Structure 1
Amino acid sequence: MYIPVDCFAKKYTEARDKFLGACQAIKGELLSYENNIDDVNRALVTDIFYLGSKKARNLLVLISGTHGVEGYCGSAAQVDFLRYVPKMDADSAVLLIHALNPYGFAFDRRVNEDNIDLNRNCVDFANKPINKDYQTLMPDLNLQDLDDDSLAHSQKKLEHYRLEWGDRVYEQAVSGGQYTDATGLFYGGKGPSWSHQLTQQLIDEYTVSERQKVIVLDIHSGLGPYGYGEVISDHPPESEGAKWARHCFAVNMTEPAAGTSSSVPKHGLMDYLWHMHLPDKGCYVTLEFGTFAVDKMFALLQQENYCWHNPVALEKRLVIQQQLREYFYPEYQDWQEMVLFRCQQIIAMSLQKLAHE
């Protein structure tokens, strides 16, 4: 079966143009929110498209670009959906949030303009979590240089911790979120980011808590087997959200808290902001598309992070930035086809549950 992949883009501006073009071809409400950053001379915009009645009791939310450079797959899935909108139940609506982190998308970074990982930014900032294991790893995670000796030394020390602690404890230490190292990896910030505040505004404006049934699909890339779309739920296992998610996605779904996911439990996920406003029949799941090995991702993130916080030759910086982009966005037709097919499948499943359950 051939799946057209022309809805994928090569840069943020092209992705936005494709999204806006697809929106203009059908009836709906289009709104744009610009993130005005003083030292950035380009438009950084999160675009919102609402399809359906404002009074619809059921709502499907499709999010792309929470982790900027991962926005290519989510944007393509949104464009694909808009080009071939399935017949929808009259009491169901769809809200599309395109490029939630427009800065990261535009600059092919995973983080936002303040080095904040949006998926670690939703915590109680008066009582921030403490990641002691990250603090142990911090001297070796934060590279001192990009020469071969520095890279080899870092990898040797980190491999020692991985073998001593085990894969899952090590991954949680590195990527679970930290709130002390503002120039480090997986930083959660000191307060709500621009994207966090916009999300809260949209939750309120689109009356999410007043709906009868809600499913939020946040599309990501970088974890799991190549091309596979894993449905990940970070709801507390005994919560109503977890029960509704299992009902909607059955054996497709994995749960980090239960140890069944390619992801480990993390602090400050965007999920948690939505959780507070969802009805009993409401869930937020991540649709995560695998690419390559996690240790490769950590190594690339280390090098890319160093480039953004230290003087580095432009040529070297561009090479590392391109490698990071290729990790999160493999521009291969087989991967692109797998992404679109799985997104079509999970979106159709979601709309069916909203309409008929």
Structure 2
Amino acid sequence: MTDGYFSDSYAEARERFRAAARGAGAELVSYRNDVAPGPGGEDLCTDTAWLGPRSATKVLFTVSGTHGVEGYTGSACQIALLGDLDANPLPPDTALVLVHALNPFGFAYNRRVNEDNVDLNRNFIAHDLPPGNDEYPRVHPALVPAEWVGAARVAADTELMAYAGAHGVRQLQAVVTAGQWSHPDGLFYGGTAPVWSHRLLREIATAFLPGRARVGYIDLHTGLGERGVGEPIFRGGRDADAFDRARSWYGPTVSRSEDGSSSSTRIVGNSATLIADVLTGGEELTAITLEFGTLPGIEVLEALRADNWLCLRAGVTPEPGAGVTPELRAAIKRQLRDAFYPPEAEWRETVLARGREVFAQAFAALAGHPIGVREPERA
């Protein structure tokens, strides 16, 4: 059953998370986004929960809501983890940090991006020398058509299909999702400076992680891959053994964007980059994205294009404007939410079970019993 875990709004998810954290005896700290208020003018906050001894040498650090609307699922997984601690307490010398709704703006407004149209998971770069994506300008006009219903949309779709036909669908995915730092009105825009959520994650990670011997990092996402499957995608650390270690933790399904084994193509500026940057004292980092598949990739891209067009045309406020009808706005917002937060109970049950499995694997590995290490057989 998924009752009590999955929410219908950011406010409900936050309330449930905080209640679960208090019930588990966690230390709670809230950080208010001072850049943008919520849809009703309310405060938007990222909450952190710490459990376990402050002296712990091993820490599992989990994040939900890096991509706002994806926070519904990440929140549910975190709430379930907190509720399971009674029956499955933390291993000795181990602590747990949960960062809930890292991008509360996107969560509250049902958008993937933040208040600046920035894809947070492309913002963790050296902004004085941003990466290049020379191909993105070729597809940008087709990704951001002048109208969503009409001839301009048809022409844009035709152009994207032509690009995919010439270069392959995987190459189109790589160009669109890698990250771009040249078109603020476009998709997967990485921004020009560290945004509020970026700065906050650095503050939290710096407070909790340096000096620990071993750090497990799990960033919870939805939208890529086979429907309902929770794919562990390798994101670090930086030592030579990190990938093999991740597979010993989570099994042979751990994939890498860089070698084509993942549903994700190579991206630049993801949050695990910051975690690795914070750990400069020889701490062992094992970082993954846990990616839950939802809809076929083309449908997810359509939802992102539609939501981006809607925001450019009429803003994020719920009042219709600039020729956008209430019906079209509602349809686009429903399309975006379904692409990252499917409503079906079966999908949610599968996701919850997989989240619990991966968390258990992480704790076992931190305790010195990764699944890839077998106990010697007894005679």
TM-score by length of 2: 0.90
RMSD (Å), alpha carbons: 1.5
- Pick one of 11, 25, 28 that aligns with 1:27: 25
> What SS class does the counterpart of residue 93 from structure 1 fall into?
strand
Structure 1 residue ranges without an equivalent (≥5): none
> What SS class does the counterpart of residue 204 from structure 2 fall into?
helix
Deviates more, 1:163-172 or 1:260-269: 163-172
CA shift at 1:87, angstroms? 2.0
CA shift at 1:152, angstroms? 1.8
Separation (CA, whole Å) in 2 of partners of 1:98 and 1:68: 11
Separation (CA, whole Å) in 1 of partners of 2:64 and 2:76: 9
Does the 8 A contact of 1:236 with 1:257 survive in 2? Answer: no
Does the 8 A contact of 2:233 with 2:262 survive in 1? Answer: yes
> What SS class does the counterpart of residue 96 from structure 1 fall into?
strand
Does the 8 A contact of 1:220 with 1:288 survive in 2? Answer: yes
AA matched with 1:246:
R
Deviates more, 1:62-71 or 1:35-44: 35-44
Count of aligned pairs:
354
The aligned counterpart of 1:253 is 254
> Identity over the aligned pairs, expressed in percent?
35
Report which of the two has the higher share of helix: 1
Does the 8 A contact of 2:144 with 2:309 survive in 1? Answer: yes
Q: Deviations over 1:126-175 (max 9, x none)?
A: 11111111111111111110123222211111011111111222111111
Q: Deviations over 1:75-94 (max 9, x none)?
A: 00111111111222120000
- Counterparts in 2 of 1:165 and 1:237: CA distance versus 1, 3 Å: farther
Separation (CA, whole Å) in 2 of partners of 1:168 and 1:343: 27
Q: Deviations over 1:98-139 (max 9, x none)?
A: 000000000000000000000000111111111111111111
The aligned counterpart of 2:343 is 331
* Aligned residue runs from structure 1 range 153-302, under 5 A: 153-206=155-208, 208-235=209-236, 239-278=240-279, 279-302=282-305
In the alignment, is residue 314 of structure 1 matched against residue 312 of structure 2? Answer: no
Does the 8 A contact of 2:117 with 2:185 survive in 1? Answer: yes
Structure 2 residue ranges without an equivalent (≥5): 314-321, 370-379
Separation (CA, whole Å) in 2 of partners of 1:337 and 1:231: 18
Does the 8 A contact of 2:77 with 2:355 survive in 1? Answer: yes
- Counterparts in 2 of 1:4 and 1:296: CA distance versus 1, 3 Å: closer
- Pick one of 112, 127, 131 that aligns with 2:129: 127
AA matched with 1:341:
A
Deviates more, 1:277-286 or 1:338-347: 277-286
> What SS class does the counterpart of residue 210 from structure 2 fall into?
helix
Separation (CA, whole Å) in 2 of partners of 1:267 and 1:93: 29
TM-score by length of 1: 0.95
